[in-house]
Amino acid sequence: MSSPPSPGRKTLPARGQPWSELHDALSALRSADTDWRHGRDSLDVYYAGEDVLDVARRAYAMFISENARAPQFPSLQRMQDDLLQISLSLLGGGREAAGTVTIGNAESALLAVRSAYRAFRARRPQVRRPHLLVPASVHPVYEQAADMMGLELIRVAIGGDYRASVQTIGQCIEAETMMIVASAPSLPFGTIDPIEALGRIARDRDVWLHVDACIGGFLAPHVARIVPAVPRFDLSLPGVRSLAADLHKFGYAANGVSVLLYADADDQAHQLFEYDQWPKGLWRSQTLSGTLAGGAVASAWAVMHYLGETGYRTLAQRVMHLRDRYLEGIERISGLHVLGQPDLSVIAFGSDEFDIHAIGDAMQARSWHISRLTAPAALHMTVTPVHDQAVEAYLDDLARCVLAARS
């Protein structure tokens, strides 16, 4: 007999509720959420229009119950193979390259760090505590990976251009350095680190270089066709051994599907975990999660084929045009300045004249979702196609908030 629930704890309803009631309840719950369909979200939703969303939704629903990791669904394995082949073709994978579909940046980072660690241990078993060497702008998920694996992570200062400093990283590499992580672009500043130069150092010093392209991986290849100045960052660069990119960002898939790519399949082999000392026999996995939502994989596959190269390039042109409108509008507002020179769609801007976070509070009061930086203090956003509905309204409200702060 089970014990009674604690007072005040949510319990199952005594009777099931019809969908009409549940729909109303869900609508009420989401009433306070950010209106991302009209461009008022600054960071977490990548919306390319109702047609793309509908394709993703329909594909997801077709495979909502399937686990893409399970062998009895070869359709989903075929889709994953297609996603990886397309990703490798976009991101510089040669004949020896390979990859894995993951559930997101966190899993990709953990797997990349584990692979680098096992490769390092195979070469240098005598090193007591290997470490990761990263620019200060790298995502904290690598801190999390190091913490989970009992590794040290050393953050070093970035340059005045808000990019990793090649000189500083080169000076900090030691015998214990097992991995360097670079961003394409960094989430705080939107700048692509000098990965070509870092690759040369990594190769010369025999250190694993991983590229976090979770934001830019499925945007930059299309932008590079129209903006030649986009810095190189992919697997084709000597020294780059692994790269992560999120399909649920600028791939416009449903949440929960990403790729981790390796320049050499031999490096991917370090991901493999096997165990057979239990009643069911051999258990083998290349990932951390035993479940990968079949719907997420199907949505990515469907959206990629729906948009094609032409569709992605059109969206990339739209994003960069919007990015430029935001940059120009921000720079026109006296007292504001953009941090660095963002390469893709992430923008951060601050002020030397007034409290930029107070401006953020005022914008939030006007129903904008505001993302912030703390060091240096700044406001922050990722421009997506949906922002074409909101750019002028955002800039107008921003100018009003700055004017109010001045007075």
User: How far is 289 from 287, CA to CA, in rounded Å?
Assistant: 6
Asked if residue 367 belongs to a domain, the reply is yes
Asked if residue 321 belongs to a domain, the reply is yes
> Could you tell me if 290 and 325 lie in one domain?
no
> Could you tell me if 326 and 297 lie in one domain?
no
Asked if residue 366 belongs to a domain, the reply is yes
The CA–CA distances, whole Å, from 332 to 110, 299, 347 equal 42, 40, 15
> Could you tell me if 146 and 266 lie in one domain?
yes
Has this prediction a pTM greater than 0.85? Answer: yes
Residue 155 structural domain: 57-302
Domain count across the chain:
2
Q: Which of 245, 275, 302 is the last residue of a domain?
A: 302
Supply the CATH number for residue 383's domain: 3.90.1150.10
> Could you tell me if 351 and 400 lie in one domain?
yes
H helices present in 30-69, as ranges:
50-62
Q: What is the pLDDT of residue 228?
A: 82
Asked if residue 45 belongs to a domain, the reply is no
> Could you tell me if 197 and 243 lie in one domain?
yes
Amino acid code (one letter) for 218: F
Q: What is the pLDDT of residue 1?
A: 58
> Could you tell me if 117 and 247 lie in one domain?
yes
Closest CA to 347 of 382, 299, 309, 300: 382
Element (H, E) at 268: helix 265-268
> Could you tell me if 294 and 371 lie in one domain?
no
Supply the CATH number for residue 153's domain: 3.40.640.10
> Could you tell me if 298 and 364 lie in one domain?
no
Q: Which of 302, 329, 360 is the last residue of a domain?
A: 302
Q: Is 12 exposed, middle or buried (0-12, 13-18, 19+ CB in 10 A)?
A: exposed
Q: What is the pLDDT of residue 7?
A: 80
> Could you tell me if 273 and 344 lie in one domain?
no
**Which pLDDT tens digits describe the chain residue by residue (407 residues)?**
567 777 889 999 999 999 999 999 999 999 989 889 999 998 889 999 999 999 999 999 999 999 999 999 999 999 999 999 999 999 999 999 999 999 999 999 999 999 999 999 999 999 989 999 999 999 999 999 999 999 999 999 999 999 999 999 999 999 999 999 999 999 999 999 999 999 999 999 999 999 999 999 999 999 999 988 899 999 999 999 999 999 999 999 999 999 999 999 999 999 999 999 999 999 888 899 889 999 999 999 999 999 999 999 999 999 999 999 999 999 999 999 999 999 999 999 999 999 999 999 999 999 999 999 999 999 999 999 999 999 999 999 999 999 999 88
Q: Which of 238, 271, 302 is the last residue of a domain?
A: 302
> Could you tell me if 388 and 326 lie in one domain?
yes
Show Cβ contacts of residue 321 under 8 Å, excluding neighbours closer than 6 positions.
none
Q: What is the pLDDT of residue 2?
A: 64
